[in-house]
Chains A and B, each alone.
Chain A
């Protein structure tokens, strides 16, 4: 594309993920009520995630967090800027990143085990090894005895566990999670959060977790990146100093938890003034999410 500054293919860094000056612009087609215009989904996002860190992106819908995750996955290309993993520029999807999506996205024609083994098949792992690995991860997410069930036989929480096991099984170093717990009920959600922290501590993966729930962000993250919409900008990164291991029962009731939650809430409330004008444009960003056409 003309006018875009060249970005280096490699950079020197200690960070696991480096997001460098990402800008993503969509060209909206003319509609009956509005002329053609540009929509800035993300503007100059800079972010670094350390190895083994649990970073949460929080923001209202339409702030571009899903777009950012698509760029990290390699399914979408930024208009300018680049993402680096271990210092190497991301050019497309690859097996070094695992992905967990909101709607489970399990393959209904595959059993739990076959779902978990999907990435291993793509990675061309021999069958016997696949079985050992899938056994291991099915155990890790607490689904022993359900290996030969089909997804329709599982509850929502169990399906999401399978999705997590599937993303972990091919051993990616980074786990990208796009509002994974948004579709389950409150109780299941809390137990899945506890479970995820346990798995994270057991595997030492670098996790980038997207959510619109402030509570979830504060409870899970080492740091919380607050995004504000129109255009999607990184407002602030809040460090969460709550002691680990965290448990839903006591962590949430601590005074510090409430204080941090309040702080992030204020950051989201006091978004720059210009965003107010475009509030009705918010759903558009969702509709033109580049993966919608996939």
Chain B
């Protein structure tokens, strides 16, 4: 039994990971650790395979990805314009609001979770809202900083041509700010899964967090590890995808070559272009659409199966009210 090739190549990229995996397999087998609590890798892999076969894993994967990407997108929609306005035009307001914003961003999202559940119920809104809340702050702060610190000389040389406000924004401020804004987006994205998994554990009927929590409630220990593995993978993949989009949007930064010698050919090195940025974004949009359909289907199923036990709940052998098991 083998992992799919793509996953395999990702896992085996570094030898550290490889050693870790070997230890994971051998330590329980040699009884260095209790194999009941730490099942060897092969058992976890078989569990993953089982979950994949029934299609349950891909469903949870899709649902979790959808929640993460939706939350991230909403945070972008709110934080980017707000950050540009505060960083560029309403700088007075920005400095007045800054202590408040810093304070809000320091609120522990885990503490906010029950509140979100209280306000929005255990539906999708609460989970997406908490992800949005967490990712909003780094994106907002980095956008403010990025737009505030655009080189004044660049602004001056554009202003000297009498450019309009929108031209200044689209042709100077945004391109100059993109690399810094992306740092914020990636910090936000890495926080996304932490909070999403927690939210799914506290109140959900699907998603990787629910899978792990549900398995724990039912002492299905290999399944916990299978779910956790996929949570790690998902976070890793999202970060990779963002890095890829970022690299293709900021080819001009040339960080790879230490001494740029004029006239020397650099054609050999691969340069991501706008096309790959579009491709990366398309993947995210695809997750949004497919995930939305899946979530809608699941929620309808949950409604229909409110009287009888729902199909996947039955599969895991859990009580029908497992959806709010953590509360």
Give the distance in Å from the alpha carbon of A150 to the alpha carbon of B152 in the complex: 20
Give the distance in Å from the alpha carbon of A122 to the alpha carbon of B160 in the complex: 11
Q: Is the CB of A93 within 8 A of B162?
A: yes
A148 to chain B, nearest CB (A): 10
Residue of A nearest to B255 (CB): A152
A79-121 Cβ-contact flags toward B at 8 Å (1 or 0):
0000000000000111101010101111111110000001101
User: B151 near A: Cβ within 8 Å?
Assistant: yes
B308 to chain A, nearest CB (A): 58
A192 to chain B, nearest CB (A): 15
Q: Is the CB of B252 within 8 A of A150?
A: yes
Which of B153, B155, B156, B262 interacts with A155 by CB under 8 Å?
Answer: B262
User: A292 near B: Cβ within 8 Å?
Assistant: yes
Q: Hey, which chain B residues are within 8 Å of A92, CB to CB?
A: 162
> Given A118-B171, A152-B260, A153-B262, A294–B162 Cβ distance below 8 Å?
no
Q: Hey, which chain B residues are within 8 Å of A119, CB to CB?
A: 161
> Given A109-B252, A153-B262, A294–B159 Cβ distance below 8 Å?
yes
Q: Hey, which chain B residues are within 8 Å of A146, CB to CB?
A: 262
User: B176 near A: Cβ within 8 Å?
Assistant: yes
A290 to chain B, nearest CB (A): 11
B145-179 Cβ-contact flags toward A at 8 Å (1 or 0):
00000011111111111110001000110011010
Q: Is the CB of A75 within 8 A of B156?
A: yes
User: A73 near B: Cβ within 8 Å?
Assistant: yes
Could you say which of B155, B175, B262 has the most chain A C-beta atoms within 10 Å of its C-beta? B262
Could you say which of A106, A110, A170, A291 has the most chain B C-beta atoms within 10 Å of its C-beta? A291
Q: Is the CB of A108 within 8 A of B253?
A: yes
> Given A107-B175, A146-B262, A152–B253 Cβ distance below 8 Å?
yes
Q: Hey, which chain A residues are within 8 Å of B151, CB to CB?
A: 105
Residue of A nearest to B254 (CB): A152
User: A56 near B: Cβ within 8 Å?
Assistant: no
Q: Hey, which chain A residues are within 8 Å of B254, CB to CB?
A: 150, 152-153
B123 to chain A, nearest CB (A): 42
Q: Is the CB of A152 within 8 A of B161?
A: no
Which of B157, B161, B260 interacts with A170 by CB under 8 Å?
Answer: B161
Which of B152, B171, B252 interacts with A152 by CB under 8 Å?
Answer: B252
A136-167 Cβ-contact flags toward B at 8 Å (1 or 0):
00000000001001111111001000000000
Give the distance in Å from the alpha carbon of A99 to the alpha carbon of B157 in the complex: 7
> Which secondary structure dominates chain A's binding surface?
loop
User: A60 near B: Cβ within 8 Å?
Assistant: no
User: A74 near B: Cβ within 8 Å?
Assistant: yes
Q: Is the CB of A153 within 8 A of B266?
A: yes
B120 to chain A, nearest CB (A): 40
Q: Hey, which chain B residues are within 8 Å of A153, CB to CB?
A: 254, 260, 262, 266
A101 to chain B, nearest CB (A): 6
Could you say which of A92, A103, A109 has the most chain B C-beta atoms within 10 Å of its C-beta? A109
A65 to chain B, nearest CB (A): 16
B139 to chain A, nearest CB (A): 20
Which of B157, B163, B171, B252 interacts with A101 by CB under 8 Å?
Answer: B157
A15 to chain B, nearest CB (A): 22
A198-212 Cβ-contact flags toward B at 8 Å (1 or 0):
000000000000000
User: B26 near A: Cβ within 8 Å?
Assistant: no
B92 to chain A, nearest CB (A): 13
Q: Is the CB of B260 within 8 A of A73?
A: no
Q: Is the CB of B252 within 8 A of A93?
A: no
Which of B158, B161, B250 interacts with A109 by CB under 8 Å?
Answer: B250
Q: Is the CB of B162 within 8 A of A74?
A: yes
> Given A146-B262, A152-B254, A158-B262, A105–B153 Cβ distance below 8 Å?
yes
B227-257 Cβ-contact flags toward A at 8 Å (1 or 0):
0000000000000000000000011111000
B220 to chain A, nearest CB (A): 51
B146 to chain A, nearest CB (A): 13
Q: Hey, which chain A residues are within 8 Å of B262, CB to CB?
A: 146, 149, 153-155, 158
B199 to chain A, nearest CB (A): 37
B262 to chain A, nearest CB (A): 5
A70 to chain B, nearest CB (A): 9
Q: Is the CB of A121 within 8 A of B152?
A: no
Residue of A nearest to B163 (CB): A122
> Given A152-B254, A158-B262, A73–B160 Cβ distance below 8 Å?
yes
Within 8 A of B (CB), among A55-74: 73-74
Q: Is the CB of A93 within 8 A of B157?
A: no
Q: List 8 A-B contacts (CB under 8 A).
A: A104-B153, A110-B175, A110-B252, A122-B161, A122-B163, A150-B252, A152-B253, A291-B152
| Known contacts A93-B160, A94-B162, A291-B156, then 5 further A-B pairs from the complex at CB < 8 Å, ordered by chain A residue | A93-B161, A97-B160, A153-B260, A158-B262, A294-B159
Q: What 8 A-B pairs are tightest by C-beta distance, nearest first? A: A105-B153, A93-B162, A105-B157, A99-B160, A109-B175, A152-B254, A109-B252, A150-B252
Interface residues, chain B, CB within 8 Å of chain A? 151-163, 167, 171-172, 175-176, 178, 250-254, 260, 262, 266
